[in-house]
Structure 1
Amino acid sequence: MHPYLHAQENPDKPAIIMAGTGEVETFAELDQASNRFAHLYRSEGLQIGDTVAVFLDNHPGFFDIIWGAQRSGLYYVAIPSRLTAAEASYILSDSGATMVISSDTKLAVLDELLNLNPDVTQYVYGADDDRALEPALAAMSDTPIADQRHGTDMLYSSGTTGRPKGVRIPFPENEDIGQPNALVAIAQGAFGFTPGCTYLSPAPLYHAAPLRWCMTVHKLGGTTIIMEKFDPEQALGLIEKYQVNVSQWVPTHFNRMLKLPEEVRAKYDVSSLKSAVHAAAPCPVPVKEKMIDWWGPVIMEYYAGSEGNGFTYISAPDWLAHKGSVGKALLGTVRICDEDDNEVAAGEEGQIYFEGGSPFSYHNDPEKTKAASNSHGWTSLGDVGKVDEDGFLYLTDRKSFMIISGGVNIYPQEIENLLVTHDKVADAAVIGAPDEDMGEKVVAVVQPMDMANATPEFAQELEAHLRQTLSGVKVPRQIDFRSELPREATGKLYKRLLRDEYWGKTGSKIV
């Protein structure tokens, strides 16, 4: 069901609750606000198939904008809120957006954007100039526009390995704004989301998963609790306060909650949780084991991308029987291929492809679109993995992150997963750095829980920790310490920035 139907049937039910302020928006208010945005888009000349951009932190009006675009037949682009003007300008230009909506917290960046993209109309929450959004919305009707049509997102990759790629998915042939979609079916059938559920969203809304899962909950008539910024103890408190029963996480969230003192974790009742879904990066096996021990068999995992070309799923019981797996395909068929596009046997590593998934293209980049497919027409997100005899998929790492040292292929994820299980490690990244003899050497960049531990002695302790499990070729030849790693709030690591630094490249930027 579309949120407007819930507004008719249950108008006073909260659709959105902001975690920090407690601000509530009901389904009736969400419906009215999204209608006003739809009229605003039409008044500015945006027609079916056009593009609007959202450049916001986790703001109370975020979904007013998005649902307004969804019912106006627009593509809506969520720009990561921490980008510079130059980086945001690239996405505006590449996507063809003719309007961007933001807030007064970003006025300095918006002023630069106005110079870089003078033809893109700006509307700004809290502005005191002609960009002010509130008076413009107040002048609009809160009833539906005459030409409602189903729109959809156009999301950009997080740019961990280069410039972000815009994923443009064709509009559904059915124009009905309330038509069902695959994610609603997956949420109910696999993850146990129920009508009227209460969902905690701890991640930035501009990312694909939080955006799409929150909209799915709205379609189910449920309430979304939106954290303005993730805090591990606050997340536990919100689960208890609102009796949250469904949620979505990344492994970094799990790791940070597990690093809380035991007495802090024990303070909060999380027994209301029926489904704690995680994705975005491989979860270290010990971390997931501890989460299942703590929260019970409610930890569920999937593997997918903004491209929507495939989707795998695994429940907690299946994971305990296939530790480290991301499950079996619910959308598409998993194929593991070698460099010549030949499918490999069970247990052998290769590039992960999906056969029969949804079609997609990278906007304005036919070469990247072509590179995402192999000779069979199967599509890939660029990850490497294997399938076991039972058909369960395991991720090894990004193909582009692979280190070749002395002719041996080394995947950093395995080393990173071991490092973060150490009690004194908050975060870790492993990269390949230049080496005269070996071509590349393995380097670990570690964020300690306490920077007082950033010593040669601790580096030796970590090396000994790794040697208990890893072969010598995988043990880092160099361990460096940082107070913080360049990790996106969605949990993705900007490993390219670290790699460029060690390879002496300059001018590298997060885009």
Structure 2
Amino acid sequence: MESVAPPAAGAPAIRCAGQARGYPEFLDRAARIATGLAAWGVTPGDRVAVVLRNEPAHLEITTAAAQLGAAAVPVNWHFRQDDLRHVLTDSGSAVVFAHTDLLDAVTAVLPEGVRVVEVAVPPGVAAACGTTAPPVTGRYPVLDDWLADRPPLARPAEARPPTVIYSSGTTGRPKGVLREPVGPDRLAEAVTSFLEYFAVAPGGRTLIPAPLYHASPSQHAVLALAAGLDITLMPRFDAEEFLRLVERHRIEQAQVVPTMFVRLLRLPKDVRERYDLSSLSSVVHAAAPCPPHIKHAMIDWLGPVLREYYGGSETGAVTWCDSAEWLSHPGTVGRAQGTCAVAVLGSDGAPLPAGATGEIYVRPAENWPRFSYLGDPGKRAAMEAPGRPGYVTLGDIGHLDEDGYLYLSDRRNDLVISGGVNIYPAEIEGCLLALDGVHDVAVFGIPDEEFGEALAAHLETDPGVRLTAAAVRAHVAERLARYKVPRTVVFERRLPRDESGKLFKRQLRDPYWEGHGRRI
């Protein structure tokens, strides 16, 4: 196995759970992986699957594929059977890199002709994930040996495709977002925007706690590499470990999701106060609505360092707001920045006035790469706003205020229509998260003969907490309209979320609708 020299003291590095790569070593390894891929016949336009937990090798392979003009496909390493088979087949990946303990799952569904590189599980990564690093099998070439004697790629491609991100499958079969290659000038523009909006300086220190198979952390990592930032990856989010890493590495900037805020705030006060977090100047969050009381609590704790954006893997960030803007417009996800634009349209496609709720359409920045969906061009066309070229919807509902700030109500697929009244579960979920003892919650519609749909709430409580359905209903009834009180209340040991905090509400909702014909 090849040993890698430690980074020079004070020099930016890519580190994770005991591993550290200085940029010279990191870029050398990536360039030699690119040579290996080229020797195996990978060419511009091809795709390379990465079935790895967060670690430096994940980013090395992503960088190597881009140097060839190929696209990395970060795969959710939890996927098994049908979902894993779908992504490996649908993406048309020519090569798969997989951690040793994930090889069996990969080879069970591996398309014919696809080659495999085995990646040893680093001990620190295994420990962070609650397991032990297994010995390499040797059934396939092992990454460090495979790249050891190869020269660096002589002529890297100028135009580099972004990663192909697959949706998490929370509402159906995952689909791959394919974006056009980006040339040096557009990459430089993207890096400049990244540094500005994420409020981090060149050479600054960033922490990425979410899985790299999701769009936001993947894009964050790629731009952080291009900007030469010092990057710390977490193999798996742990609230106290997050604080420990901020203190140890004097982290200046981090990107999180609201669920991580909830877990951080649930740490005992003495634990939260144990760590020096004064280095933080920018904590960016996105990917899901953040309950206002949670965001207030985070600003009270960390100061006005929170920044929020709205967008998707298809469009990039479209709106932004800092802490001061949010405090003056509570609940907003920001307003359009630069060449981006937002419109809220009614069912007839006409723009709605300020304050009126409708479907959100966004126009990405002019330099954002155009996108399509692998194997499903119709899905891309269905997202477009009639008569408004360049505007697409991500499936969210919300409104704009008089100042142009955007507010999310919920996902279009999560909207509940009960007795002709629109109900947005996100509002009720935020209300229930403020109830003492509630650790997590999912609210959704279930069949009702009289009203069409009724509300169900599935809750996960803190250890030792005993709540009753009546107490849950009373809490909502005191704070929201009566029609927003859940009729069904179920207590779960654990709600189905992935590592980034994304809730698989479909798993809870589908059983209620079996035989009722609703399209979920």
* TM-score using structure 1 length: 0.92
- Choose the corresponding residue for 1:124, options 115, 118, 122: 118
Q: Does 1:453 align with 2:465?
A: yes
| Alignment partner of 1:483 is 2:493 | yes
In structure 2, what residue type is equivalent to 1:353? Y
Q: Which amino acid aligns with 2:437?
A: K
Q: 1:109 aligns with which of 94, 105, 113?
A: 105
Confirm whether residue 28 of structure 1 aligns to residue 45 of structure 2.
Answer: no
1:282 to 2:278 alignment = no
Indicate conservation of the 8 Å contact 2:210/2:237, yes or no: yes
Alpha-carbon distance change, 147 to 204 in structure 1, aligned in 2, over 3 angstroms: closer
State whether structure 2 residue 227 is matched by structure 1 residue 220.
Answer: yes
Q: Which moved more, 1:298-307 or 1:416-425?
A: 416-425
Structure 1 stretch 143-152 or stretch 38-47: which is displaced more? 143-152
Superposition pairs of residues 160-239 of structure 1, within 5 angstroms:
160-172=170-182, 174=183, 176=184, 180-239=187-246
Tell me the equivalent position of 1:13: 11
Q: Deviations over 1:243-281 (max 9, x none)?
A: 100000100000001011111111111111000000010
Q: What is the aligned partner in structure 1 of residue 91 from structure 2?
A: 95
| Distance in 2 of aligned mates of 1:67 and 1:146 | 10
**Residues 485 and 306 (structure 1), Cα distance of their counterparts in 2 relative to 1, 3 Å cut:** same
Distance 1:342 1:128, change over 3 A: same
Contact in 2 for aligned 1:311/1:332 (Cα 8 Å): yes
Alignment-mate amino acid for residue 112 of structure 2: P
Q: State the Cα deviation string for residues 96-128 of structure 1 (Å, max 9, x = none).
A: 2111111102022022023xx122111111341
Task: Confirm whether residue 366 of structure 1 aligns to residue 377 of structure 2.
Answer: yes
Verify: 1:423 aligned to 2:421, yes or no. Answer: no
AA paired with 2:327? L
- Residues 168-224 of structure 1: CA deviation (Å, up to 9, x unaligned): 11113x3x4x85345422322222110111111111111111111122222222111
Q: State the secondary structure of the residue aligned to 1:382.
A: strand
Pairing 1:432–2:439 present: no
Name the structure 2 match of 1:154. Answer: 164
Q: Which moved more, 1:206-215 or 1:332-341?
A: 206-215
CA distance in 2, matches of 1:36, 1:50: 18
Mapping for residues 324-403 of structure 1, pairs under 5 Å: 324-330=331-337, 331-355=339-363, 357=365, 358=368, 359-376=370-387, 377=389, 378-403=391-416
- Going from structure 1 to structure 2, the CA distance change for 1:454 and 1:370 (only over 3 Å counts) comes to farther
> Is the 2:34–2:153 contact (alpha carbons within 8 Å) kept by the matching residues of 1?
no
Change (3 A) 1:182 1:89: farther
Question: In structure 2, the residue corresponding to 1:106 is in which secondary structure?
Answer: helix
CA contact (8 A) 2:12 2:228 kept: no
Partner of 1:470: 480
Contact (CA 8 Å) 2:444, 2:455: kept in 1 or not? yes
**Contact 1:304/1:311, CA 8 A, preserved across alignment:** yes
Q: Is the 8 A contact 2:159 2:181 kept in 1?
A: no
Residues 184 and 430 of structure 1: CA distance in aligned 2, closer, same or farther (over 3 Å): same
Counterpart of 1:407 in structure 2 is 420
Q: Specify the alignment match of 1:300 in structure 2.
A: 307
Q: Which residue of 2 aligns with 1:3?
A: none
CA deviation digits over 1:313-337, x for unaligned, max 9?
0000000000000001125210000
- In structure 2, the CA distance between the partners of 1:12 and 1:73, relative to structure 1 (3 Å rule), is farther
Secondary structure of the residue that 1:294 maps to in structure 2? helix
Contact kept, 8 Å, 2:12 with 2:203, in 1: the verdict is: no
The farther-off stretch of 495-504 and 332-341 is 495-504
User: What secondary structure is seen at the aligned counterpart in 1 of 2:245?
Assistant: helix
Q: Which of 244, 262, 270 is the aligned partner of 2:269?
A: 262
Q: Distance in 2 between matches of 1:485 and 1:448?
A: 10
- What is the distance in 1 between the residues matched to 2:108 and 2:364? 43
Per-residue CA shift, 1:56-104, capped at 9, x if unaligned?
1113311110111121111111111100032112112212211111110
Structure 1: 5+ residue runs without aligned partners? 1-6, 507-511
1:447 and 1:485 in contact (8 A); partners too: yes
Asked if structure 1 preserves the Cα contact closer than 8 Å seen for 2:161 and 2:179, the reply is no
The DSSP-based 3-state class of the residue aligned with 1:164 is coil
Per-residue deviation, 1:308? 1.7
Q: Tell me the distance in 1 between the aligned counterparts of 2:469 and 2:141.
A: 53
Paired amino acid for 2:11: K
Is the contact between residue 35 and residue 145 of structure 1 (CA under 8 Å) also seen in structure 2?
Answer: no
Report the count of equivalent residues. Answer: 490
Residue 134 (structure 1) shift? 2.7
| Misfit runs of 4+, over 6 Å | 9-12
1:304 deviation in Å? 0.9
Deviates more, 1:215-224 or 1:425-434: 215-224
| Cα distance in 1 for residues equivalent to 2:380 and 2:156 | 36
8 Å CA contact retained: 2:318, 2:364: no
Letter in 2 for 1:453: V
Name the residue aligned to 1:509: none
1:348-393 Cα distance to aligned partner (Å, 9 max, x none): 0000001364432112112211111121232010000000001000
Identity of aligned residues (%): 38
